């Protein structure tokens, strides 16, 4: 997908550019004239900057379109994307409020609504912010035409758009409203929390008698007397024009959306890939999308359904086929490692092990179920280790995977070593493992507190950090606990060449320790705190520069004397960082984002 930032994502033509080009040409000619054959001019090297090498894939909450080849999806983090003739274009709005729904009357008349009362209008080229008169979260939008649109949300908020402006309507309820739909301008339904159902008859909105107290997340019908509502714990209601009645879904997963094609039975979808079809009066369950959450559902009015969900997933379904229009990524990245100048790896949730390639990224993970990977370390692109949940340790060596799973099945969180036969891994319950090149053995850590990271300067100088301010030191013989002076969760540790060790943690905590001797210098914080955002991981280079990443896209750099901030212009949480042997810096985080800092 192509990402544009800001409320006005397309740059307007600058008519001054022609004059600038003429002046630039004159300057170039002058320089060429002044330089003789004995005075070649070498270009200045480009300044290092952050670039996005793997774009985030935000969860889609809703989908609307005019056909299967032209539609829009509303997503988390203020993002709206358009699929048109096989190509994706995405816009991200300035304040990053989650978008919750999208609806339109035509390709050049589209509206998206979301948190804090935000509404954006699309004219076919650009998006414009529209004042709604409310700061309540807007969860849904629907209309009969461009001059008759409803949006609803938190606190019973209900607003109406007449083609020019939004105005407030008294809904008569205070429950959060999740969905609105109607068979026409004088027959509109809205549903929400606590089983709330209200109806508009062309004159007034009035509450309807509901048969459930469960939250209702979606309402839709074939006609005004054939309407469905779905929601929490697999709740399905049907309205026959007289009263609402509950139908048995057979599941307890939350259902986020319901819809159907003309002349076809309706379908409902929801959490963990739930996909229900009503056949012969009975709802039949199927799990699809590899168990990923499904939120948005729309039909093209003819033969196809569009489904949208977790981490960018978009699918098209007909009675004969299923097509994935955007696979998305089913994970958050929690570890990144640059093996050399050409090979970068990122690992994360749902068993993802990504390797950079000339054409993007490929998933090279072994076939293991229900694994979330947390960290990666190795000696080269043909020999590295990945650890994760359930005590999984995976080694990639000479093109093949070798798998261990420790008996305790405790999650492993951090890994580091000096060579392929001297590796430490740490994790939940104070777990510390050591690999000697043949097998993994438990070490006595002296704590039951979970450990999140490990790093050192050699076999006899290793640190591990974790919950409750835990800092452990290994001197080559035993692990000892050091007094950190804090109870804050510590998430990263780095040992600089020489003697200084640094740890980072929640709330922007940074601690330095100048001495490696047990009982030596105490842990102290820098005089100036640069951030209050939690810091998640650390890395460094052989010159002693240290980097830390964390929440809200923060990256900090330490040169051995002072800390400073490296702005990334990205605001998704970063979970991992690594400095490559070539000096480039890679950071990875939520929604599959990978950033690179280099020339």
Q: Cα angle at 231 between 226 and 232, to 5 degrees? A: 150
pLDDT in tens, 402-430: 999 999 999 999 999 999 999 999 999 99
Q: How many CB atoms within 10 Å of residue 533?
A: 18
Fold of 333-598: Methylamine Dehydrogenase; Chain H (2.130.10)
Q: How many CB atoms within 10 Å of residue 542?
A: 10
Collapsing DSSP to helix, strand or coil, 28 comes out as helix
Cα(62)–Cα(402) distance, rounded to whole angstroms? 41
Q: Render 112-172 in DSSP notation, one character per residue.
A: EEEGGG-EEEE-SS-EEE---S--SPEEEEEEEETTEEEEEEGGG-EEEE-SS-EEEE--S
pLDDT at residue 21 in the model = 37
Q: Please, which pLDDT band fits residue 2 given cuts at 50, 70 and 90? A: very low
pLDDT at residue 543 in the model = 92
Q: How many CB atoms within 10 Å of residue 9?
A: 18
pLDDT in tens, 65-79: 999 999 999 999 999
Q: What is the percentage of the chain residues whose pLDDT exceeds 90?
A: 83
User: What is the DSSP pairing of strand 109-114 with strand 392-397?
Assistant: unpaired
Collapsing DSSP to helix, strand or coil, 25 comes out as helix
Ramachandran sector of residue 263 (left: φ over 0; alpha: ψ -120 to 50; beta: rest): left
Backbone angles phi, psi at 527, to 5 degrees: -65, -30
> In this structure, which long-range contacts are made by residues 472-477, counting pairs with CB atoms below 8 Å and at least 24 apart in sequence?
472/432, 472/445, 472/446, 472/447, 473/516, 473/518, 474/424, 474/443, 475/518
As beta bridge partners, residue 353 has 347
Ramachandran sector of residue 426 (left: φ over 0; alpha: ψ -120 to 50; beta: rest): beta
Cα(90)–Cα(9) distance, rounded to whole angstroms? 9
The secondary structure of the chain in percent helix, strand, coil, rounded to multiples of 5, reads 10, 50, 40
- Spatial contact of 417 and 423, defined as CB atoms under 8 Å apart: yes
Q: Is the pLDDT of residue 23 over 70?
A: no
pLDDT at residue 520 in the model = 54
pLDDT in tens, 521-574: 689 999 999 999 999 999 999 999 999 999 999 999 999 999 999 999 999 999
User: For residue 273, what is the DSSP state?
Assistant: G
pLDDT at residue 126 in the model = 94
pLDDT at residue 303 in the model = 86
pLDDT in tens, 200-258: 999 999 999 999 999 999 999 999 999 999 999 999 999 999 999 999 999 999 999 99
Q: In the numeric block, which tokens belong to residue 463? A: 């640190």
Collapsing DSSP to helix, strand or coil, 466 comes out as strand
pLDDT at residue 264 in the model = 86
Q: Please, which pLDDT band fits residue 97 given cuts at 50, 70 and 90? A: very high
- Spatial contact of 366 and 328, defined as CB atoms under 8 Å apart: no
Backbone angles phi, psi at 271, to 5 degrees: -65, 150
| Structure-token match 């093209």, residue found | 300
Backbone angles phi, psi at 256, to 5 degrees: -100, -20
pLDDT in tens, 253-262: 999 999 998 8
Backbone angles phi, psi at 442, to 5 degrees: -75, 145
- Edge to edge, the sheet with strand 49-54 lists 49-54, 594-598, 585-589, 574-579
Cα(346)–Cα(336) distance, rounded to whole angstroms? 4
Our separate counts of H helices and E strands in the chain read 1, 56
- Spatial contact of 145 and 166, defined as CB atoms under 8 Å apart: no
| Structure-token match 């799973």, residue found | 405
User: What is the DSSP pairing of strand 305-309 with strand 294-299?
Assistant: antiparallel
Q: Is the pLDDT of residue 43 over 70?
A: no
Q: In the numeric block, which tokens belong to residue 460? A: 């006899």
| Structure-token match 């909450």, residue found | 61
pLDDT in tens, 349-404: 989 999 998 778 999 999 998 899 999 999 999 999 999 999 999 999 999 999 99
Q: CA separation (Å) from 49 to 11, 27, 271, 568?
A: 22, 27, 40, 8
Q: Sign (positive/negative) of CA torsion 572, 569, 9, 329?
A: negative
């Amino acid at each position: 997908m192509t990402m544009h930032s800001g409320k006005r994502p397309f740059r307007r033509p600058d008519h001054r550019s022609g004059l600038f080009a003429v002046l630039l040409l004159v300057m170039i000619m002058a320089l060429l004239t002044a330089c003789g054959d004995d005075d070649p001019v070498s270009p200045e090297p480009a300044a290092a900057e952050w670039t996005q090498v793997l774009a985030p894939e935000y969860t889609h909450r809703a989908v609307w379109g005019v056909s299967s080849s032209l539609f829009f999806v509303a997503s988390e983090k203020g993002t709206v994307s358009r699929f048109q003739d096989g190509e994706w274009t995405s816009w991200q709005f300035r304040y990053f409020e989650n978008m919750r729904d999208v609806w339109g009357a035509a390709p050049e008349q589209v509206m998206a609504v979301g948190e804090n009362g935000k509404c954006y209008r699309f004219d076919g080229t650009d998006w414009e912010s529209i004042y709604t008169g409310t700061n309540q979260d807007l969860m849904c939008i629907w209309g009969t035409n461009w001059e008759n649109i409803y949006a609803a949300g938190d606190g019973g908020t209900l607003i109406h758009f007449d083609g020019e402006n939004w105005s407030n309507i008294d809904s008569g309820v205070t429950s959060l409203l999740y969905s609105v739909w109607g068979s026409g301008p004088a027959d509109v339904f809205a549903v929400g929390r606590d089983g709330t159902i209200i109806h508009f008859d062309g004159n007034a909105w009035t509450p309807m008698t509901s048969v459930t107290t469960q939250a209702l997340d979606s309402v839709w019908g074939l006609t005004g007397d054939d309407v469905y509502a779905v929601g929490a714990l697999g709740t399905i209601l049907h309205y026959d024009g007289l009263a609402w009645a509950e139908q048995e879904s057979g599941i307890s997963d939350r259902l986020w959306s319901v819809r159907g094609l003309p002349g076809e039975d309706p379908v409902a979808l929801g959490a963990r890939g739930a996909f229900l079809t009503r056949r012969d009066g009975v709802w039949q369950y199927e799990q699809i999308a590899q168990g990923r959450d499904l939120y948005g559902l729309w039909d093209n009015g003819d033969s196809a359904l569009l489904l949208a969900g977790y981490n960018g997933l978009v699918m098209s379904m007909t009675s004969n086929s299923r097509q994935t229009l955007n696979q998305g990524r089913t994970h958050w990245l929690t570890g990144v490692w640059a093996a050399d100048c050409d090979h970068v790896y990122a690992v994360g949730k749902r068993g993802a092990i990504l390797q950079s390639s000339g054409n993007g990224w490929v998933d090279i993970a072994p076939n293991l179920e229900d694994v979330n990977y947390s960290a990666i370390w190795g000696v080269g692109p043909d020999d590295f280790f990945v650890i994760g949940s359930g005590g999984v340790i995976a080694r990639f060596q000479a093109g093949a995977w070798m798998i261990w799973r420790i008996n305790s099945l405790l999650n492993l969180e951090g890994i580091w070593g000096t060579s392929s036969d001297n590796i430490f891994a740490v994790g939940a319950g104070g777990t510390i493992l050591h690999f000697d090149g043949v097998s993994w053995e438990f070490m006595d850590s002296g704590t039951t507190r979970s450990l999140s990271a490990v790093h050192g300067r050699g076999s006899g100088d290793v640190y591990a950090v974790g919950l409750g301010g835990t800092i452990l030191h290994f001197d080559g013989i035993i692990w000892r606990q050091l007094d950190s002076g804090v109870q804050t969760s510590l998430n990263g540790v780095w040992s600089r060449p020489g003697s200084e060790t640094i740890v980072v943690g929640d709330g922007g905590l940074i601690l330095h320790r100048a001495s490696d001797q047990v009982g030596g210098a105490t842990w102290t914080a820098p005089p100036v705190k640069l951030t209050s955002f939690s810091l998640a991981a650390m890395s460094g280079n052989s010159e002693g520069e240290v980097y830390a990443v964390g929440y809200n896209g923060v990256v900090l750099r330490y040169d051995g004397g002072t800390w400073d901030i490296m702005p990334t212009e990205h605001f998704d949480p970063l979970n991992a960082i690594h400095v490559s042997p070539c000096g480039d810096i890679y950071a990875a985080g939520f929604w599959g984002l990978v950033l690179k800092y280099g020339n």
